Amino acid sequence: MAYGMSNILVYGSIFNGPRNLINKWAESQFTPFQGFWGFISDMLKCMMCTSTWVGFLFGIFVYSPIHEFIGTPIYFSWFLDGMFASGSVWAINSIIEWFEENRPTK
């Protein structure tokens, strides 16, 4: 789930409009909370960064695998869920990128 959500947020065409709007807000010096929008803009350009926050949110609102399998305290497990999602998504994304770069030619 974390890979799918991160992939949609970073590369999905359905989010081109919101991503472009966030990028404009981040670049404008007249936007309130410019630092926040800059952070969001930079995060949405990086699979590893986006998946960390997706993991945090999934751990809080959907399911916390770290809490279920390891039994860590719930607040600490949310942090570990973000780290687990980031590492898992990075591994999946690296494999997919490797196959895209090493596609056989005709």
Q: What would the pLDDT profile of 47-100 be if each residue is shown by its tens digit?
A: 999 999 999 999 999 999 999 899 889 889 999 999 999 999 999 999 999 998
pLDDT, residue 106, reads 75
In what helix (H) or strand (E) does residue 2 lie, and over which residues does it extend? helix 2-11
Range of the domain at 12: 2-101
The secondary structure of residue 41, as a DSSP letter, is H
Give CA–CA dist 62/22, Å, rounded: 26
Q: 12-42, pLDDT tens digit by residue?
A: 999 999 999 999 999 988 889 888 999 999 9
Residue 106 within a domain? no
Answer whether residue 104 shows pLDDT above 90.
no
pLDDT at 79: 93
Q: Which residues lie below 8 Å from residue 15, measured CB to CB, with a gap of 6+?
A: 8, 9
56/18 Cα distance (integer angstroms): 21
Residue 55 lies in a domain: yes
Q: How many domains does the chain have?
A: 1
